[in-house]
Structure 1
């Protein structure tokens, strides 16, 4: 009887062992052969994803994150604040994440973020359009790599990045990803633009300028020949919110970017090109063609007022979108006969160049190294790029827009301007594609909106027709270069102001000599060979 019982147990043991082994084989086969469309995982990430939820250090934490936001002053008092409004409530409800918005003034955003980081009060997610700033945060150790979080917690963004691998170099520093980003539509690749009052040109029998000399001549006519017909000497011919960048671009240089000429890398504000651009801007000021306070008009309020009230005739601003749309609409409201039209950039002695254009990577969203719950942050960004962005950009269908041939058409420009325009940047990641002709369909149907939409299409086409000079897709993240540039920026602005305000005694040549001297003093002599070495090793990235 004992032998029989022993045999039965032994046979049952073999059966159980066979079942276990078969299960192992089946499970192994499943993990090696994903279904169509599945994203495979590997190594540690795959092992981690198989762990029970209770082993995830973030699984039991509150599903809450905070994120920075540019305060552009666009939220009306009856809409609320950047921290609390209809869209922050909508985000909470739709994303399932407890999101706290931390606004920072657009004009001093980096300074404010630096203070918040230094004091330990920075939000979980910090974002900027400026890749160089992200590089500084990497160097300072203020933010953390994201590769593991994306691999472990993301679905939508991981898929998006796999479909757009060209974005990865933009977010990679020292071999690791430090930011989320998405591709810009053409409407945000195009950035700067020039607008001119066609009705003033017609009244004075003038043509739009095509050279820097002609630009001065037209601006002087706007100043002295009373184009608005009010018989007062109150015209401010030129205004702008991007003036220095646009004037520099006409000379084929940028005040904060490196360029390559004759096989050598040079920092823009140290070049002869920048000297001449600065001299041109100085001349415009000396001739009284700018508002006397334009250098101290930090929020551009005087400039905007001059344009919207019909006192200025040429706007160095943006091709369209956002604020510029509002300024054009306000001008038409105040001066119904005004005819603002886009103008091509003018040629300088160096030739003709396009105005500033952005790289294909848009907003850079980073994770504070002190973040408590990166899992919640990844889930929030997955929701944003999957579907959240669409409503934040367009509003609510039936309330703010209707679909016309697949294009979102604004139903009421004033309502959209008040209730939706400020919300777009909450959508920090987007899968947005826009064609120039879509602008005609998307505009509200009132006559003013339609008229301005036609001009916006022309403006966008002009902006993209004239390619901006960018020799590097991005600046290398080299500590010595970041440090000297950060120190140099304040000095550069001071010298520029002295040159423009200093009259004949402070020439542009004196300014460029001072800039070169300060660059060397602050560490530029040590940084210069490093950028040359980088260039030698990465010539494939440089456009000639």
Structure 2
């Protein structure tokens, strides 16, 4: 075994299997929380916290800042929180505006490292070492057991800036296909992107729903589907790929996926207005109404996929049959789906916060098992019931979906499910006794079984694990991403414009990159990858964590679910 890998494995993997023992016992001193009655009796301090707004809150449930989840947080928690909405796909713009106006929240929940790192460089964020030392119990214990969280949250100045969590690491996305349409048209499961194209063509032109109309699309290109096609061809932000042990700019990969999309678009095999379906809502509705044959989306939360995709599809089109399939071989190679980031930094503190103790008390609460259990399973006795083995079980799926699905994952960005045994692994919310739920669990397991450990994922590791570049490097990336990156307007022009080829787009994108001194960026990433990769959690490390977490889950449910 490579000694460098062995060293990394020892450092990083205090993370998964050893985490079978529960750290966090809700409502006791060891959890860093007071009993619920004493919390209610105390005068609670006030703080502000961001909340992602995905425009998906049912009207009956209020708003993203005022709903059953936020009210529970304020009733059960040690502080009163005013949530500040941040549009999910415009968080950078919103946070910049809030800081500029002097109105940034005390605690900022944010996934994107480039956003947080820029704020650190601008000295807009507060180091949190002293807060943890003086005021924390729960998060301090998590750091003690998993020092990799301290390492990943430390800035270039050696001070700790970010709170984080330990995730279940699994393939994050899935490629879904209508297998009943394949059977009807006598087609096999696509193994290459050429076969995927041929399936999309047949699904569009050969009336697979037998209604006598040409009203079906072969494949979706908007929203998550477009981004996952990029990933299928091995490219993700910031557009670097591992080639023969070196990190290189993925121009070949970007050109190849753009050529695939252009071919689909030119032949009318996808919605001709896909470019205007920014969040993929229209494509999702077409898929759920049985009008799209190949669809790509998130598949790391099987309960959400069941409630938001599979169940509505079966209600709308009872005879529809789908399956998840491996990513096909592309002209530039074959890749695994990217994985959920196993060690993820998710929160930072405004440098101007007036009450760091209150912020720390909230972080402790949001890191506790009590908080996690509620985000995962809703309210005891209403949405779920604890079973004799100690694990909760969902008892009202529809109510949980309606009242929690829209935001529990985002409000739970500080929870670490693998720290509390097997109860909180993602498929545990689905019931084997219910046929449709059982099938989603089977698809979910198949998606993990498809992982080929000899293949890379898009990029050399999860994008959030890449190093923080210097300001001048990040500035070049920020300047060029909207135009020259895989989803930039240059490449979109190649898809939409008949007389503008992908080769011309590549020349234009490379010229812009060159003019912006992009070669400096290429050299910085290449040098870091060559000389400092031991400091990163690489793809092989993520694969190892994935293997060990899967092995842990295969223990008996009683063993996996014991958290005390």
TM-score range, shorter chain: 0.7 to 0.9
1:219 paired with 2:214, answer no
Q: Give the alignment partner of residue 148 of structure 1, picking from 101, 126, 130.
A: 130
Residue matched to 2:188: 207
| CA drift at 1:524 | 1.9
Q: Is the radius of gyration larger for structure 1 or structure 2?
A: 1
Q: Give the alignment partner of residue 48 of structure 2, picking from 55, 66, 69.
A: 66
1:429 paired with 2:394, answer no
| CA drift at 1:300 | 1.4
Q: Give me the whole-angstrom Cα distance separating, in 2, the residues matched to 1:393 and 1:494.
A: 39
| CA drift at 1:499 | 1.0
How do 1:158-169 and structure 2 match up within 5 A? 158-169=140-151
| CA drift at 1:514 | 1.4
Q: Give me the whole-angstrom Cα distance separating, in 2, the residues matched to 1:320 and 1:199.
A: 24
How do 1:100-499 and structure 2 match up within 5 A? 100-174=82-156, 175-186=158-169, 189-239=170-220, 241-262=223-244, 264-268=246-250, 271-321=251-301, 324-325=305-306, 326-386=308-368, 387-404=370-387, 405-422=389-406, 423-433=408-418, 442-444=429-431, 446-462=434-450, 468-472=457-461, 473-492=465-484, 493-499=488-494
Relative to structure 1, the CA distance from residue 66 to residue 267 in structure 2 (aligned partners, 3 Å threshold; closer, same or farther) is farther
Q: Give me the whole-angstrom Cα distance separating, in 1, the residues matched to 2:525 and 2:356.
A: 34
| CA drift at 1:415 | 1.1
| CA drift at 1:532 | 3.9
Q: Give me the whole-angstrom Cα distance separating, in 2, the residues matched to 1:284 and 1:236.
A: 10
Q: Give me the whole-angstrom Cα distance separating, in 1, the residues matched to 2:181 and 2:510.
A: 41
Higher relative contact order structure (alpha carbons within 8 Å, sequence separation ≥ 6)? 2
Q: Give the alignment partner of residue 511 of structure 1, picking from 497, 505, 508.
A: 505
Q: Give me the whole-angstrom Cα distance separating, in 1, the residues matched to 2:452 and 2:532.
A: 27
| CA drift at 1:529 | 3.6
Q: Give me the whole-angstrom Cα distance separating, in 2, the residues matched to 1:350 and 1:157.
A: 44
Q: Give me the whole-angstrom Cα distance separating, in 2, the residues matched to 1:375 and 1:65.
A: 10
Q: How many pairs were matched up?
A: 480
CA contact (8 A) 2:54 2:88 kept: yes
Relative to structure 1, the CA distance from residue 486 to residue 393 in structure 2 (aligned partners, 3 Å threshold; closer, same or farther) is same
Cα deviation 1:481-531 (Å, max 9, x = unaligned) = 21111111222321121111012x211111122112112222324434433
CA contact (8 A) 2:234 2:241 kept: no
CA contact (8 A) 1:146 1:178 kept: yes
Relative to structure 1, the CA distance from residue 529 to residue 463 in structure 2 (aligned partners, 3 Å threshold; closer, same or farther) is closer
CA contact (8 A) 1:125 1:365 kept: yes
Q: TM-score, normalised by structure 2?
A: 0.79
Cα deviation 1:279-300 (Å, max 9, x = unaligned) = 1222222221221111221121
Gaps of 5+ in 1: 1-59
Cα deviation 1:15-57 (Å, max 9, x = unaligned) = xxxxxxxxxxxxxxxxxxxxxxxxxxxxxxxxxxxxxxxxxxx
Relative to structure 1, the CA distance from residue 470 to residue 221 in structure 2 (aligned partners, 3 Å threshold; closer, same or farther) is same
Q: Give me the whole-angstrom Cα distance separating, in 2, the residues matched to 1:416 and 1:312.
A: 28
Q: Give me the whole-angstrom Cα distance separating, in 2, the residues matched to 1:515 and 1:476.
A: 24
Relative to structure 1, the CA distance from residue 263 to residue 441 in structure 2 (aligned partners, 3 Å threshold; closer, same or farther) is closer
CA contact (8 A) 2:178 2:293 kept: yes
Is the deviation greater in 251-260 or in 324-333? Answer: 251-260
Q: Give the alignment partner of residue 95 of structure 1, picking from 77, 89, 93.
A: 77
Relative to structure 1, the CA distance from residue 245 to residue 256 in structure 2 (aligned partners, 3 Å threshold; closer, same or farther) is farther
Tell me the secondary structure at the aligned position of residue 165 of structure 2.
coil
| CA drift at 1:116 | 1.6
CA contact (8 A) 1:353 1:468 kept: yes
RMSD of the alignment, in Å?
2.6
Q: Give me the whole-angstrom Cα distance separating, in 2, the residues matched to 1:486 and 1:70.
A: 22
CA contact (8 A) 1:390 1:430 kept: no
Q: Give the alignment partner of residue 523 of structure 1, picking from 517, 521, 531.
A: 517
| CA drift at 1:345 | 0.5
Tell me the secondary structure at the aligned position of residue 88 of structure 1.
helix
Gaps of 5+ in 2: 1-41, 541-564
Relative to structure 1, the CA distance from residue 131 to residue 440 in structure 2 (aligned partners, 3 Å threshold; closer, same or farther) is closer
Cα deviation 1:353-399 (Å, max 9, x = unaligned) = 11222321235201112212111111101111123122122101222
Q: Give me the whole-angstrom Cα distance separating, in 2, the residues matched to 1:438 and 1:181.
A: 18
| CA drift at 1:213 | 0.5
Tell me the secondary structure at the aligned position of residue 444 of structure 2.
helix
| CA drift at 1:169 | 3.1
